[in-house]
């Protein structure tokens, strides 16, 4: 579809977010009307504050499912249940929360991502590096202690965590040597 064809496609409206004073359009052309005050309180960097008119629409890169979940964190009575979501969708929401400075949403996503630590440790480690999350690094560390500190750093993990990784890596090697020694005796 060309950009001209895309412009001719009609927008649909979110069922949950219709009464706000700021309008966002998802990548799949769903409109979300949320309250500017909530954005200013919950988000550190959302582009809503740059909108000068209530008729303006800010286009966002995220799809409507991701934004529906993310915008739910703007309202205390709508905190979403992330438990039934797929790993991929929680990652999408966590990335959007990180991008828009919605710390509480990001922390809740990280708590849910910890449940996937044994299944997706490398992906979560990379995400932890992007989000500067010691909680996620700690969750996947037991599954990735075979990685060298250099490999961990190459995944985008900040230096401060790589230093901690070195000590965990050395401790793991010592335990392995100890185990081998006890077997060989």
Nearest to 25 by CA among 41, 8, 12: 12
User: Which pLDDT belongs to residue 136?
Assistant: 92
Q: Is the dihedral of CA 77, 78, 84, 88 positive or negative?
A: negative
User: Which pLDDT belongs to residue 97?
Assistant: 97
Which residues does residue 22 pair with via DSSP β-bridges, in sequence order? 34
* Spatial distance between the Cα atoms of 90 and 108, rounded to a whole number of angstroms: 10
* Spatial distance between the Cα atoms of 100 and 20, rounded to a whole number of angstroms: 18
Residue 45 lies in a domain: yes
Residue 79 lies in a domain: no
Chain position carrying tokens 């993310």: 70
C-alpha dist (Å) from residue 31 to 19, 35, 52, 111: 11, 13, 18, 29
Which residues does residue 31 pair with via DSSP β-bridges, in sequence order? 13, 25
Residue 126 lies in a domain: no
User: Which pLDDT belongs to residue 146?
Assistant: 82
Residue 124 lies in a domain: no
Residue 112 lies in a domain: no
Domain count, the chain: 1
* Spatial distance between the Cα atoms of 71 and 67, rounded to a whole number of angstroms: 6
- Taking only the tens of pLDDT, the chain with its 185 residues reads 444 444 556 789 999 999 999 999 999 999 999 999 999 899 988 765 666 666 789 999 999 999 999 999 999 887 899 999 999 999 999 999 999 999 999 999 999 999 999 999 999 999 998 998 989 988 998 888 888 888 888 887 888 778 778 877 788 788 878 888 888 87
Residue 19 lies in a domain: yes
Q: What is the pTM of this model?
A: 0.82
Contacts of 62 (CB under 8 A, 6+ apart): 26, 27, 70, 92, 96
Which residues does residue 30 pair with via DSSP β-bridges, in sequence order? 12
Domain holding 40, by residue range, is 10-63
Residue 3 lies in a domain: no
Is the distance from CB of 21 to CB of 35 less than 8 angstroms?
Answer: yes
Residue 175 lies in a domain: no
């Amino acid at each position: 579809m060309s950009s001209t064809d895309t412009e001719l496609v009609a927008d649909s409206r979110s069922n949950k977010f219709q009464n706000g004073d700021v309008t966002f359009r998802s990548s799949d052309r769903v409109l979300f009307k949320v309250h500017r005050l909530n954005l200013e309180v919950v988000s550190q960097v959302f582009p809503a504050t740059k909108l000068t008119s209530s008729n303006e629409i800010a286009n966002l890169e995220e799809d409507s499912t991701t934004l529906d979940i993310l915008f739910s964190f703007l309202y205390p009575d709508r905190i979403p249940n992330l438990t039934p979501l797929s790993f991929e969708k929680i990652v999408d929401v966590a990335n959007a929360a990180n991008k828009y400075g919605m710390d509480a949403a990001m922390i809740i996503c990280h708590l849910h991502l910890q449940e996937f630590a044994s299944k997706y440790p490398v992906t979560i480690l990379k995400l932890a590096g992007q989000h500067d999350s010691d909680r996620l690094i700690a969750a996947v560390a037991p599954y990735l202690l075979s990685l060298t500190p250099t490999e961990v750093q190459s995944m985008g993990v900040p230096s401060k965590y790589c230093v901690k990784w070195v000590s965990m890596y050395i401790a793991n090697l010592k335990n392995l040597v100890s185990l081998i020694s006890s077997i060989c005796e």
